[in-house]
Amino acid sequence: MTGFLLPIVIHDIRKKRIPDIYTFPGCASLFLLQVLFFHNYLIFIDAAAGYGFIWLVWFFTGGKIGRGDAKLSALIATGLGLVGWVIALFWASFTGLITGVILIKMKKLKIKEEIPFAPFLAAGGVISFITKDLVMRLYYVFQ
């Protein structure tokens, strides 16, 4: 998954868009891996949830987040599963919010100005990949 994230992040930072040429092959590759090696036939549901949630945010905010971010979200959900995607989305939102506040306070960003979300989604995906097992163990301990 991480091999697909770097070009997506670079392109989103430079052009503020995520082309399908990056997300579709990533999703297709991860679908095949999940189905062929892990026999995870329900991964389509995870990908649909990852895409659908961000698409709903796009729809209800009038396009404040891009549909490319929805496709990237599907890629992350395909690679990490639904639980990993939720963890990634938490970290993406948290780091994006903190970064935005810091940039506004430093007067490097205006309140209405857009910032690319792909770097935060990618970072959230990597953090989730690293911490997912620990988070799940903690969840079961405190349940």
> If you average pLDDT over every residue of the chain, what do you get?
95
pLDDT at residue 126 is higher than 90:
yes
pLDDT (0 to 100) of residue 77: 97
Angstrom distance (rounded) from CA 143 to CA 138: 8
Q: Would the CA dihedral through 44, 47, 52, 53 be positive or negative?
A: positive
Task: List, for residues 15-67, the tens digit of each pLDDT value.
Answer: 999 999 999 999 999 999 999 999 999 999 999 999 999 999 999 999 999 99
Q: Where are the domains of the chain?
A: 2-141
pLDDT (0 to 100) of residue 51: 98
pLDDT at residue 2 is higher than 90:
no
Angstrom distance (rounded) from CA 109 to CA 115: 9
pLDDT (0 to 100) of residue 1: 73
Strands of 36-91, DSSP E: none
Average pLDDT estimate for 78-91: 96
Which residues have CB under 8 Å from 111's CB, separation 6+? 104
Which residues have CB under 8 Å from 93's CB, separation 6+? 120, 124
